[in-house]
């Protein structure tokens, strides 16, 4: 059965709902988690250095010892059956640098997702991860020549062990939370990016993550190091087919922006709505560095993700722009965290959420100003749009200020429905109700889409339109 | 014309089909067709256009996209970008509107004059069969009023009916009416020509009140 | 702890209440073993267990404000059917009136364990009952003052306003030169029936020996209106929980709060605006002003239930930090389960606005004066929202003279 299932069927017109055959897979770990599985992944399959194996095993102990979070959507969290997950699935032996080297069936998948085409048009490098491992990887030669490293995390560990060992797990240690511990124990794939001093990577690097297997756990691990004065924009996208039983995606993403460096990290998450998406993302920003998280959550069953920026050096800036769209049976528990740990630091958080058809979206955020962090500014705006009854919107922000000198922390939030007057105005100009609604929703998320590369913005607008057609009538 | 609260804006909203108003009695016919049950967008497609007294701001929606979508919808087919650009340019030139205008968000942070001019630009593209101008002169200074009115005059043609709702003579000096109706307490109490405007301008509406009661008693 | 004394207190109540009190006591002990309190360190540093259950309110007084015509217990000059008396007396003498309310169980996960302790161990308090269609013009002033210290003190106040009645209550908490620290914990239960209207002024002005825990719980029926003004001025540690349940259409509430802290005072506020049905509205506005090493934490909840369409609920918490050692935390939460609503919250934390300071100083004020003008402006933001101008004027004078002493 080498055929791809019909497109555009299934729940909510989810267009990525096609699945591939697993016939030619190289390895699929049996379900469940144990010391043996971790050792098998690390020692036997990946042939990792000893320190990494030890790191994994220690993390596994931490995972076992930590309780499940007692906040957020505990009802859904407690439905996760850790024994019913494949922790490692390898689809192919090879990793291509040319799409022709990628197994035909997997290549077809990424073709359908438009990755090779996008790569030709506007990307500086691409990583494509299928199940647990990266199957395709490329970087423009000119970048490689000036020392930019963009590779998958496993290769990174093999070829740049010194750099990896120095930074891996320093921003998000396994002790941070239960799912960071799980990722640390069983991680596979993800990206390793290193941008040398002063280098500006003007066009984005892109990673694409795809889960195909049912009951799969994908645990990619990404580490981005931007040396002083450098710039990089990294984009990731994620999809999976819809299955009747759930998959788990639990990534750890660590960013380090050295003095004067700038990192922008864009995510368009569109997992099918049987994927648990429990991700830890955190950045360290040193003196005058800037870190921007642009985070779009459209898919998944439950997302719990709060990208963080620790402003550790004077003059550092953090910006988090997030949209969440929660539809039928979805809970988007997304947000942002900023820690002001140095003077003259500033942060902006903009959160936009849309709930419809019994979907629930929550903003959960933290702004903390530590003693000594004088002259800090933080501004948070959360807007929520409710499209019909039965949908739900929550806002759970925390603001802690322990320094007074020239510190301003402001937060505002509004929750509303699509205004009757706005609708009437647009309809009086001849738009149908669903056209009018999707126009208003697109306007609502405009501050987000305008930050995306054009191709993504167009795609996102189309997605919203598709969602809206289902929402009216 | 008519004093505050006499039902002028209500009339235009009802013709456009605002959901806030429920029609309890009577029907609305447009070009011989009963449009009472039609939704606002259907009425728009029939050629009815309302220039709002207080145009709403819709943050995040760019004017260019808005106008293009509006026009495609009215015409019932996607209008090619190049064609639309040409058309828009022409209309903007006609109304003396700066190019930078279309990059902004719809009425977001607009001055009163800009909002009203935006309404007239929409009307120009729309090419309505019936245009309802609801106090288009309110909130405009003399210069802005002149520009807006000149624009209106350029758009108006023989295939178009225009209903102007206003309190004052000044707009009607630029856009000359063929008929003048005075509405009070939801009823037309007096009809005439431009002379009626002069009389209202010098004497107000009080002299009509008596006759209004007379009408009620005689009905 | 002296368990015998606890039993003695509970024993004095009728069986139906005894049961409730015993249950509350059990809750207190259970919660004491779970480390969920925010300021547990501060609280644990005090050895409350060694204090005696004294109910040290030498004098809970209740009188008509300004004219002092009415002294607690003496029922002259009251309209027919109005009851203002000791809660304990009411439990025996007006059982049919108080029982439906005292029998209710409306605890919440945000409740302090000391609220349960108050429920278990209150020996007395005040019962105020205003019958249908009666409007009382003069405010009733309840004064609870602690005399000695080194004591645990519990109270419960039950306020019931029947249909179309109207009342103003000034609920003042004071202490006079106490020698040692003390614990105060109490519950004020408010029930407003259809079209009833209550202005409830809560003035917490204990001295620095106080560890204060108080809960204001209000239930609003159809078209009733509640205005709360809550002043947090005194105590070393003060926990205040304000919960307003809009149970029927047309209910409206306004919660105004002023928190003025200095030294090492710690203030903890938990607020809830819960809308169970539609067409109701609530507004919350707190101004928090902190000097020295004072600390404040405000956890505010707005909850709109599924069927509560056309609800408006707003929350505004402003924190002014006057010293570098002062700390503030604000957690304004929204849980919205209905779509046709208008909800918002706003929070700000920071020092005095430098532009404003500069402007005032350019007009000849020194920095201290300028700061004071701005502080008084912040206080005025709240006071000016009180619609009863005479009451507002009295409160303004009271607060300004109290902060001078502070």
Q: Work out the average pLDDT over A68-91.
A: 91
Higher pLDDT: C404 or B198? It is B198
- pLDDT tens-place string over residues C281-301: 999 999 999 999 999 999 999
Joined together, the tokens standing for residue C405 give 């002493």
According to DSSP, the residues that pair with A192 across neighbouring strands are A151, A223
The pLDDT, as a whole number, for residue C52 is 63
Higher pLDDT: A423 or A116? It is A423
Higher pLDDT: C189 or A119? It is C189
Higher pLDDT: A444 or A463? It is A444
How many secondary structure helices (H) and strands (E) does chain B include?
9, 9
B106 interaction partners in chain A (CB closer than 8 Å): 443
Q: How many inter-chain contacts (A to C, CB under 8 Å) are there?
A: 113
**Confidence bin at C85 (pLDDT 50/70/90):** confident
Per cent of chain A over pLDDT 90 is 59
Nearest CB to B60; choose among A427, A436, A447: A447
- pLDDT tens-place string over residues A129-172: 888 888 887 888 888 899 999 999 999 999 999 999 999 999 99
Q: In C322-376, which ranges are E strands?
A: 327-336, 341-350
Q: CB distance A417–C321 less than 8 Å?
A: no
pLDDT of C333 strictly over 80: yes
A151 φ, ψ to 5°?
-150, 175
pLDDT of C241 strictly over 60: yes
The pLDDT, as a whole number, for residue C295 is 96
The pLDDT, as a whole number, for residue C287 is 96
pLDDT of C157 strictly over 70: yes
Q: Report whether A358 contacts A389 (CB < 8 A).
A: no
Q: Report whether C328 contacts C358 (CB < 8 A).
A: no
**Confidence bin at A245 (pLDDT 50/70/90):** confident
Chains near A (3 or more Cβ pairs under 8 Å): B, C
Q: CB distance A424–B105 less than 8 Å?
A: no
- pLDDT tens-place string over residues A455-473: 777 777 777 776 666 544 3
Which among C27-36, C147-156, C172-181, C287-296 has the top mean pLDDT? Answer: C287-296
Q: CB distance C342–A403 less than 8 Å?
A: no
CB atoms within 10 A of CB C171: 23
The pLDDT, as a whole number, for residue A2 is 31
According to DSSP, the residues that pair with C200 across neighbouring strands are C169, C228
Least confident of A45-49, C51-55, C153-157: C51-55
The mean predicted confidence, pLDDT, of chain B is 86
H or E element in which residue A437 lies: helix A433-444
Which among A228-232, C114-118, C379-383 has the top mean pLDDT? Answer: A228-232
The pLDDT, as a whole number, for residue A15 is 66
The pLDDT, as a whole number, for residue B104 is 84
Q: Report whether B7 contacts B189 (CB < 8 A).
A: no
Higher pLDDT: B182 or A240? It is B182
The mean predicted confidence, pLDDT, of chain A is 88
The pLDDT, as a whole number, for residue A27 is 83
pLDDT of A42 strictly over 90: yes
pLDDT of A405 strictly over 80: yes
- pLDDT tens-place string over residues A273-319: 889 999 999 999 999 999 999 999 988 999 999 999 999 999 999 99
A390 interaction partners in chain C (CB closer than 8 Å): 306, 339
Q: CB distance A417–C323 less than 8 Å?
A: no
Which among A8-12, A113-117, A260-264 has the top mean pLDDT? Answer: A260-264
According to DSSP, the residues that pair with C175 across neighbouring strands are C146
Residue C398 CB partners (closer than 8 Å, separation 6+): C203
pLDDT of C202 strictly over 70: yes
Say whether residue B104 is in contact with chain A using an 8 A CB cutoff.
no
CA distance B54 to B116: 9
Chain C positions contacting chain A at CB under 8 Å are 306, 309, 319, 321-351, 354
Nearest CB to A443; choose among B17, B59, B70: B59
Q: CB distance A397–C328 less than 8 Å?
A: no
Q: Work out the average pLDDT over A410-434.
A: 89
Per cent of chain B over pLDDT 70 is 95
Q: Is A142 helix (H, G, I), strand (E, B) or coil?
A: helix
pLDDT of C63 strictly over 50: no
- The verdict on ipTM greater than 0.85 is no
The pLDDT, as a whole number, for residue C72 is 39
CA distance A346 to A320: 12
Q: Give me the helix-helix angle, A420-427 and A433-444, nearest 10°.
A: 120
Say whether residue B74 is in contact with chain A using an 8 A CB cutoff.
yes
**Confidence bin at C84 (pLDDT 50/70/90):** confident
Indicate the CATH number for domain B8-176. 3.40.50.300
pLDDT of C51 strictly over 70: no
Nearest CB to C348; choose among A396, A397, A410: A410
- pLDDT tens-place string over residues B124-136: 999 999 999 999 9
Chains near B (3 or more Cβ pairs under 8 Å): A
Residue A388 CB partners (closer than 8 Å, separation 6+): A356, A357, A471, C339
Say whether residue A420 is in contact with chain B using an 8 A CB cutoff.
yes
pLDDT of C58 strictly over 90: no
The pLDDT, as a whole number, for residue C279 is 93
pLDDT of A6 strictly over 60: no
Cβ within 8 Å of C, A 104-123:
none
**Confidence bin at C70 (pLDDT 50/70/90):** very low
H or E element in which residue C24 lies: helix C15-32
According to DSSP, the residues that pair with A86 across neighbouring strands are A31, A216
Q: Work out the average pLDDT over A414-431.
A: 88
Say whether residue A74 is in contact with chain C using an 8 A CB cutoff.
no
CA distance B35 to B31: 10
The pLDDT, as a whole number, for residue C55 is 55
Cβ within 8 Å of C, A 273-332:
none
**Confidence bin at A100 (pLDDT 50/70/90):** confident
Chain A residue with CA closest to C311: the answer is A416
The pLDDT, as a whole number, for residue C2 is 42
Say whether residue A392 is in contact with chain C using an 8 A CB cutoff.
yes
Q: How far apart are the first and last CA of chain A?
A: 39
The pLDDT, as a whole number, for residue A12 is 44
- pLDDT tens-place string over residues A314-359: 999 999 999 999 999 999 999 999 999 999 999 999 999 999 888 9
Higher pLDDT: C268 or B142? It is C268
Residue C291 CB partners (closer than 8 Å, separation 6+): C261, C262, C322, C323, C326
What is the bridge-based pairing of β-strands A125-130 and C281-290?
Answer: unpaired
**Confidence bin at C76 (pLDDT 50/70/90):** very low
Q: Work out the average pLDDT over C70-86.
A: 62
Q: CB distance A429–B17 less than 8 Å?
A: no
Joined together, the tokens standing for residue A67 give 């309780």
Give, as one character, the DSSP assignment of residue A342.
S
Place of tokens 């259409």: C249
pLDDT of B145 strictly over 80: yes
Q: Work out the average pLDDT over C27-54.
A: 73
The pLDDT, as a whole number, for residue C110 is 78
Say whether residue B16 is in contact with chain A using an 8 A CB cutoff.
yes
H or E element in which residue A302 lies: strand A302-305
The pLDDT, as a whole number, for residue C53 is 59
C-alpha dihedral (C388, C390, C395, C398), degrees to nearest 10: 180
Place of tokens 């109005």: C82
The pLDDT, as a whole number, for residue C56 is 53
Q: Work out the average pLDDT over B62-81.
A: 85
């Amino acid at each position: 059965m080498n055929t791809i299932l019909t497109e555009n069927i299934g729940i909510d017109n989810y267009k990525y709902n096609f699945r591939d055959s697993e016939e030619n897979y190289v390895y699929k770990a049996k379900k469940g988690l144990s010391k043996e599985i971790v050792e098998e992944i690390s020692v036997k399959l990946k042939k990792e250095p000893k320190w990494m194996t030890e790191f994994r095993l220690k993390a596994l102990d931490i995972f076992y010892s930590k309780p499940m979070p007692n906040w957020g959507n505990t009802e859904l969290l407690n439905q996760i059956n850790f024994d019913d997950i494949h922790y490692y699935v390898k689809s192919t032996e090879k990793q291509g640098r040319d799409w022709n080297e990628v197994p035909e069936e997997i290549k077809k998948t990424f073709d359908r997702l438009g990755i090779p085409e996008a790569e030709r048009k506007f990307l500086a490098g691409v990583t494509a991860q299928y199940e647990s491992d990266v199957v395709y990887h490329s970087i423009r030669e000119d970048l490689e020549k000036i020392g930019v490293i963009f590779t998958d995390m496993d290769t990174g560990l093999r070829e740049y062990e010194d750099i990896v060992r120095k930074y891996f797990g320093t921003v998000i240690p396994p002790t941070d939370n239960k799912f960071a511990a799980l990722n640390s124990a069983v991680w596979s794939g993800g990206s390793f990016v290193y941008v040398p001093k002063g280098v500006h990577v003007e066009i984005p690097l892109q990673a694409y993550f795809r889960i195909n297997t049912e009951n799969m756990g994908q645990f990619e691990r990404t580490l981005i190091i931007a040396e002083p004065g450098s710039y990089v924009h990294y984009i990731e996208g994620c999809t999976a087919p819809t299955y009747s039983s759930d998959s788990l995606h639990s990534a750890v993403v660590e960013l380090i922006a050295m003095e004067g460096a700038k990192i922008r990290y864009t995510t368009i998450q569109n997992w099918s709505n049987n994927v648990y998406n429990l991700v830890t993302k955190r950045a360290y920003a040193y003196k005058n560095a800037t870190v921007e998280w642009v985070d779009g959550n459209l898919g998944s069953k439950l997302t719990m993700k709060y990208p963080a920026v620790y402003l550790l050096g004077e003059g550092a800036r953090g910006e988090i722009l997030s949209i969440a769209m929660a539809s039928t049976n979805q809970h988007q528990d997304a947000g942002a965290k900023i820690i002001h740990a140095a003077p003259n630091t500033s942060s902006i958080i903009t959160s936009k959420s849309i709930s419809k058809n019994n979907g629930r979206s929550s903003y959960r955020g933290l702004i903390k100003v530590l003693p000594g962090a004088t002259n800090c500014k933080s501004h948070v705006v959360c807007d929520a749009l409710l499209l019909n009854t039965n949908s739900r919107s929550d806002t759970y922000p925390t603001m802690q200020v322990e320094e007074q000198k020239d510190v301003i922390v402001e937060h505002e939030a509004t929750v509303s429905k699509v205004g009757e007057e706005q609708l009437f105005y647009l309809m009086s100009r001849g738009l149908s109700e669903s056209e009018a609604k999707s126009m208003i929703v697109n306007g609502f998320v405009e501050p987000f889409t305008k930050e995306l590369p054009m191709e993504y913005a167009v795609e996102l607008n189309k997605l919203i339109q598709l969602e809206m057609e289902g929402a009216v009538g | 014309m008519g004093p505050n609260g006499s039902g002028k804006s209500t009339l235009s909203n009802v013709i456009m089909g605002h959901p806030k108003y429920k029609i309890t009695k009577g029907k609305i016919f447009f070009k011989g067709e009963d449009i009472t049950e039609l939704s606002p967008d259907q009425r728009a497609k029939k050629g009815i256009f309302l220039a709002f007294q207080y145009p709403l701001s819709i943050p995040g929606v760019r004017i260019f996209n808005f106008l293009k979508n509006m026009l495609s919808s009215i015409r019932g087919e996607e209008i090619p970008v190049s064609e639309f650009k040409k058309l828009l340019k022409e209309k903007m030139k006609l109304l003396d509107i700066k190019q930078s205008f279309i990059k902004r968000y719809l009425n977001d942070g607009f001055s009163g004059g800009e909002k009203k001019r935006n309404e007239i630009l929409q009307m120009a593209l729309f090419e309505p069969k019936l245009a309802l101008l609801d106090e288009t002169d309110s909130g405009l200074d003399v210069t802005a009023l002149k520009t807006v009115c000149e624009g209106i005059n350029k758009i108006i043609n023989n295939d178009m009916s225009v209903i102007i709702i206003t309190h004052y003579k000044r707009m009607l000096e630029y856009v000359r009416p063929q008929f003048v109706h005075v509405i009070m307490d939801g009823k037309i109490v007096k009809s005439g020509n431009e002379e009626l405007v002069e009389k209202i301008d010098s004497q107000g509406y009080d002299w009509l009140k008596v006759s209004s009661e007379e009408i009620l008693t005689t009905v | 702890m002296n368990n015998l004394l606890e039993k003695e207190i509970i024993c004095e109540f009728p069986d139906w209440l005894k049961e409730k009190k015993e249950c509350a006591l059990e809750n207190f002990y259970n919660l004491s073993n779970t480390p969920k309190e925010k300021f547990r360190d501060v609280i644990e540093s005090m050895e409350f267990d060694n204090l005696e259950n004294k109910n040290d309110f030498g004098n809970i007084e209740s009188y008509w404000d300004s004219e002092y015509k009415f002294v607690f217990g003496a029922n002259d000059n009251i309209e027919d059917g109005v009851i203002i008396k000791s809660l304990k007396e009411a439990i025996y003498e007006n059982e049919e009136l108080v029982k439906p309310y005292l029998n209710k169980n409306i605890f919440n996960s945000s409740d302090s364990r000391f609220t349960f302790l108050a429920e278990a161990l209150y020996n007395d308090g005040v019962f105020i009952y205003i019958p249908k269609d009666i409007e009382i013009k003069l405010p009733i002033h309840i004064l609870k003052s602690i005399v000695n210290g080194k004591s645990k003190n519990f109270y419960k106040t039950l306020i019931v306003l029947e249909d179309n009645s109207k009342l103003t209550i000034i609920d003042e908490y004071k202490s006079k030169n106490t020698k040692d620290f003390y614990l105060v914990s109490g519950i004020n239960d408010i029930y407003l029936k259809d079209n009833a209207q209550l202005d409830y002024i809560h003035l917490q002005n204990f001295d620095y020996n106080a560890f204060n825990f108080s809960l204001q719980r209000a239930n609003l029926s159809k078209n009733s209106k509640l205005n709360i003004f809550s002043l947090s001025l005194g105590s070393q540690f003060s926990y205040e929980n304000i919960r307003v349940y809009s149970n029927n259409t047309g209910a409206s509430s306004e919660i105004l709060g002023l928190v003025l802290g200095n030294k090492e005072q710690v203030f903890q506020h938990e607020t809830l605006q819960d809308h169970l049905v539609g067409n109701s509205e609530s507004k919350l506005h707190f101004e928090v002003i902190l000097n020295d090493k004072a600390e404040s934490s405000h956890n505010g909840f707005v909850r709109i239930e599924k069927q509560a369409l056309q609800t408006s609920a707003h929350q505004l918490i402003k924190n002014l930090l006057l010293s570098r050692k002062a700390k503030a935390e604000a957690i304004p939460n929204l849980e919205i389960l209905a779509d046709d609503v208008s909800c918002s919250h706003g929070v700000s934390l920071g020092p005095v606005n430098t532009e404003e300071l500069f402007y005032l100083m350019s007009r000849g004020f020194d920095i201290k004066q300028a700061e004071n003008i701005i502080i008084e402006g912040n206080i005025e933001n709240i006071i000016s929202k009180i619609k009863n101008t005479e009451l507002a004027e009295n409160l303004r004078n009271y607060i300004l003279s109290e902060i001078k002493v502070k």
